[in-house]
Structure 1
């Protein structure tokens, strides 16, 4: 197979990937980094320097530096130092550096070169780009729009069916671009694109510099030298300031604080994430607004969107994902190194068309390959190599640890669809011949899970017993027996504030309907209310006056679950199965307790769920074989008729309250008619251990179930068929919750050892 080179020539940095003859893919390194500065320097007798060489040389001769030649694409000629240069010559210098490194690493001239470009570029700009490639000795190159390359990269991680759209949110160093691409049989087509030339990572750096200036504005002499450097010392100080601002921005994507050094001014400033978010919010709000405008202009409906993909180094800023999630009500997909996505995708995009033209046997949906859908070429893997015994792997043998996790955003393996081994081997041969797919990549395609892991949180130090989304889907809360409740940004997994302490062991957590209150309960048999923003105890509107008794106190056993009704009533159920209703105003009990059912099974963790939109109806589970359907007016209970053969440990309603779903210790899930209280005929079976938790998606179509067999299973509400499987590798599932705004997003928590919370996206 030919050596292939993919290049993403960026405004601030350039990235290149090389696919070798063995199918393995590697990022080319420049000065030990995959990011090559796109800067070009022209000085007396130096020729054209690129990368760090150019930046270092500019310290003594700033007039010779063009930091962002791609931004000058329309200028034709650029004056640097003492001479004038064609813009194609500057771009050729960067591409030539890439070509030289590719030849050094591979020992040969690449047989195929792909260059990416903004979707809005037309014939003139593309002509300059191809001219630059020819000057760099790359010869004839293929061109791929950047959003198409990004979409192709993400298509290797999940099904994107023909007709579905992807939103590509590309926040690079110098510019912001948003594109909507539609999956076709042959690949991806750009159906709309727009951009902001004045919003990028450099502008976020500028916001930090402006913030530093506002805190030291009285030191005019130092700022004058930084703004208008005259000496080499001044120029070096200016570069150090902007390097410090960039480093602070990058640190704040992972930590709550960062330091900024302001040379010449003599200040070392402490910058918090909150201060940074305030400074950059106006810029990032413009990106979210433009994204919505592009979607409106293209008339793409929300249910047509298969994903929102964040690429570009500056998209790491947590506020970008948060604002986008709140605006679109769709959780964006983020990877560890978003600046590498376009380069890797550039080698994948052409192969999608190749696969579309391959024999039909290469696109058999029963093997997990959607007709007309994407293959997973070796270019999608980092350092993937074709192992010995690849056919044995396809025939069901377990691969060596790590072989399916080459991509940093890859989730746990699981959910392979059953197919005849001979058929799978035949498909493998066809794919290998058709597009040169490596065996490891093919194995991942045929055995990929039915949901991709968006992120994983390991902050708790003990078993996580409950997870809950806020009503607007922007926050995710988790409760643990480590005596804390933690709250995260649901889009990014970034912690929001300090952990909520002051609990005993916590078994349950829930948000109020307006999202302002978090309720938690557990070992101490009381409900605790917390302010969802400050994480301080919630002050009741009316203090309880029943003989000075503590609010929300009355249960005689540990509380296993709490739930809010649509009118803010709080319901709680304890380990005996007794239910109590509470006023959120004063913490006093409303009416008498709802009695516990007769105990028939000792091992049970009761659950409770209100009918959405109807505060008078709720369903509860307990140490008996069927759920209990309650109404508060009139006060009445109706046990389900028939069903499980063991205790019921989890319950949930569909959004329209037509059905209730129950999880049983008998390893099954049942769907109940919420009007007749009879179970539907089909039994959702297949789990090999007790089912502890169930959740229903916001569109009422999908059930997620989990328990002691270390799997999460997805089911169709309509047919009862299993539609997905996730293997958790030995971890039991203690809790599940679907996003209230995205039917494909759900969270899971493991009970037992560790304290892991995961966010999943259904494929």
Structure 2
């Protein structure tokens, strides 16, 4: 029996991913410890024994309990982020083009090869291996899907204009979903998850920032984007009230307000957890120190506004703009590395895969383009 207080669907997904050697968001030692704690069993790293036990003790997708997964410690972060050889980053090739209808966001799973595309008619999951693209279409929302966030490579949250957040888990090849109660009264525009917790963070058109049903606080206008720091202690939100706000997750206290000259459309946190980048409607990208709240760098990045920014694990920053361009920057100096001009309408979302070798860009031209980045 799964212990009360443990997210049973995540235990199933974790066991499946360990079996497939696909765990990417935490060290495998920590993943096995989590499985051991959740089930009360101890089969070490014996995948066959874990599978046998889980098959004898099946867990249905309906079993969903209210609690946080307990773990010994958060993922460690490097003291200094890796720096990229810029001459290598300039060797960029378009690998693939996917066609969709209205696109709001693209996000990669932890296992590198799965890409989620949030669209007007649900979430599409693409397996981006060397062969033909395999696709799952997740339907269940009553409105456009505005944002997605992976927990594991086969489990994710989706946020929708229908005011709901849903959890999708894969069990025996089929995806199941259930509504996660958040309390939003209008479109849910953003969703994020700290890997070891059950409850997602969400931000909505009602201006509120929430973790599960708990409201941390609010902006005076629509919340456009949210993100956790790598240690899970701080949640950062950006909104149409021209601010980025920092929230202490445990207490709910607002740590800081970072004022901008226009809407903040997206926030992205550096891998070392020291900086947050804000993408602004006025066309700037801005680098802020999370500890002090001071602005470190700013650059006029795009004409007519920036819709999306994303860090890579190798010191690159991608931005997508209303000028139909994707730009790559040195995340430490804001030196422009490359400009990608394949899209014919505004670039609404950009995302790097975990190892930084691929970049996905989703556009108002109804395409998602996959770019290969040659790294040292």
Query: TM > 0.5 between the two?
Result: yes
Query: What is the deviation of 1:535?
Result: 4.8
Of the three residues 558, 561, 564, the one matched with 2:187 is 558
**Residue 619 of structure 1: aligned partner:** 236
Please state how far the C-alpha of 1:515 moved relative to its aligned partner.
Answer: 2.7
User: Is 1:748 aligned to residue 366 of structure 2?
Assistant: no
The equivalences for 1:421-500 within 5 A come to: 451-458=92-99, 460=100, 462-481=101-120, 483-492=121-130, 494-500=132-138
Partner of 2:228: 610
Unpaired runs of at least 5, structure 2: 1-86
1:536 aligned partner: 175
- Paired with 1:492 and 1:523, the residues of 2 have a C-alpha distance of 34
Per-residue deviation, residues 94-125 of structure 1 (Å, max 9, x unmatched)? xxxxxxxxxxxxxxxxxxxxxxxxxxxxxxxx
Post-superposition Cα deviations, 1:515-544, rounded to whole Å, max 9, x if no partner, equal 3312112111101111246452246xxxxx
In the alignment, is residue 580 of structure 1 matched against residue 210 of structure 2? yes
Contact 2:223 2:237 in 1 (8 A): no
Contact 1:519/1:527, CA 8 A, preserved across alignment:
yes
| Bigger RCO (CA 8 Å, 6+ sep) | 2
Q: CA RMSD in A?
A: 2.3
SS of residue in 2 equivalent to 1:595: strand
Q: Which residue of 1 is the match for residue 283 of structure 2? A: 667
1:711 aligns with 2:333: no
Q: CA deviation at 1:598?
A: 2.2
Q: How has the CA–CA distance of structure 1 residues 605 and 551 changed in structure 2, closer, same or farther, with 3 Å as cutoff?
A: closer
1:465–1:480 Cα contact (<8 Å) kept: yes
d(CA) in 2 for partners of 1:616, 1:498: 33
The C-alpha deviation readout for 1:134-176, integer Å capped at 9, x for no partner, is: xxxxxxxxxxxxxxxxxxxxxxxxxxxxxxxxxxxxxxxxxxx
* Contact map agreement 1:571 1:579 (CA 8 A) in 2: yes
Q: Does the C-alpha gap of structure 1 residues 750 and 450 become closer, same or farther in structure 2, counting only changes over 3 Å?
A: farther
- Which residue does 2:347 correspond to in 1? 733
Q: How does 1:193-272 map to 2 (within 5 A)?
A: none
CA drift at 1:645: 1.1
- Note if 1:693 corresponds to 2:323: no
Q: Map residues 342-361 of structure 1 onto 2, 5 A cutoff.
A: none
How has the CA–CA distance of structure 1 residues 595 and 484 changed in structure 2, closer, same or farther, with 3 Å as cutoff?
same
Secondary structure at the counterpart of residue 279 of structure 2: strand
SS at match of 2:217: coil
Q: Structure 2 CA distance, aligned partners of 1:535 and 1:506?
A: 20
State the distance in 2 between where 1:597 and 1:747 align: 29
Alpha-carbon deviation of 1:664?
0.2
Q: Which residue of 2 aligns with 1:648?
A: 264
> Is residue 598 of structure 1 aligned with residue 220 of structure 2?
yes
1:657 aligns with 2:273: yes
Matched residue, 2:80: none
Q: Secondary structure at the match of 2:224?
A: coil
Assess, with a 3 A threshold, how the Cα gap between structure 1 residues 530 and 628 changes in structure 2: closer, same or farther: same
- Contact 1:450–1:726, Cα closer than 8 Å, also in 2: no
Q: 1:714/1:677 Cα in 2 relative to 1: closer, same or farther (>3 Å)?
A: same
| CA deviations over 1:414-456 (Å, ceiling 9, x no partner) | x9xxxxxxxxxxxxxxxxxxxxxxxxxxxxxxxxx86311111
Paired residues for 1:10-25 under 5 Å: none
Q: Is the 8 A contact 2:270 2:276 kept in 1?
A: yes
**Offset at residue 474 of structure 1 (A):** 2.1
Report the CA distance between 1:561 and its aligned residue: 1.1
Residues 576 and 493 from structure 1, CA distance in 2 versus in 1: closer, same or farther, beyond 3 angstroms? farther
- Shift of residue 497, structure 1, vs aligned partner: 4.6
8 Å contact from structure 1 (residues 470, 476) kept in 2: yes
CA distance 1:570–1:551, change in 2 (3 Å): closer
Q: Does 1:519 align with 2:177?
A: no
Question: In the alignment, which of 722, 734, 738 is matched to residue 336 of structure 2?
Answer: 722
Taking structure 1 as reference, are residues 488 and 684 closer, same or farther at Cα in structure 2, changes over 3 Å only? same
Partner of 2:40: none
Distance in 2 of aligned mates of 1:605 and 1:617 = 16
Kindly report which structure 2 residues correspond to 1:377-392, keeping only aligned pairs within 5 A, or say none: none
Contact 2:106/2:115 (<8 A) preserved: yes
Instruction: Indicate the SS of the match to 1:499.
Output: strand
Instruction: Give the TM-score taking structure 2 as reference length.
Output: 0.70
Change beyond 3 A, Cα 1:490–1:556: same
For residues 257 and 373 of structure 2, the distance between their equivalents in structure 1, rounded to whole angstroms, comes to 31
Kindly indicate which of the two structures has a greater share of residues assigned to helix: 1
Give, in angstroms, the shift of residue 672 of structure 1. 0.7
* CA displacement at 1:647 relative to structure 2: 0.8
Task: Tell me, in whole angstroms, the C-alpha distance in 1 between the residues paired with 2:347 and 2:115.
Answer: 17
* 1:678 alignment partner in structure 2: 294
1:240 aligns to what? none
* Pairs within 5 Å for 1:82-231: none
Give the superposition deviation at 1:683.
1.3
Q: SS of the counterpart of 2:216?
A: coil
- State the match for 2:12 in structure 1: none
Residues 146 and 159 in structure 2, CA contact (< 8 A), matched pair in contact too: yes
CA contact (8 A) 1:486 1:495 kept: no
Distance 2:154 2:348 in 1: 25
In 2, Cα distance between equivalents of 1:492 and 1:510:
24
Aligned residues of 2:362 and 2:369 also touching (Cα < 8 A): yes
Change beyond 3 A, Cα 1:676–1:522: same
Distance 1:493 1:575 in 2: 40
Instruction: Give the CA deviation at 1:687.
Output: 0.9
Counterparts of 1:558 and 1:677, CA distance in 2: 29
Residue 632 of structure 1 and its aligned partner are, at CA, apart by: 1.6
Residues 608-627 of structure 1: CA distance to partner in whole angstroms, max 9, x if unpaired?
11112x22211100012231
* Alpha carbons of structure 1 residues 694 and 611: separation in structure 2 relative to 1, 3 Å: same
Contact between 1:652 and 1:695, CA under 8 Å: does it hold in 2?
yes
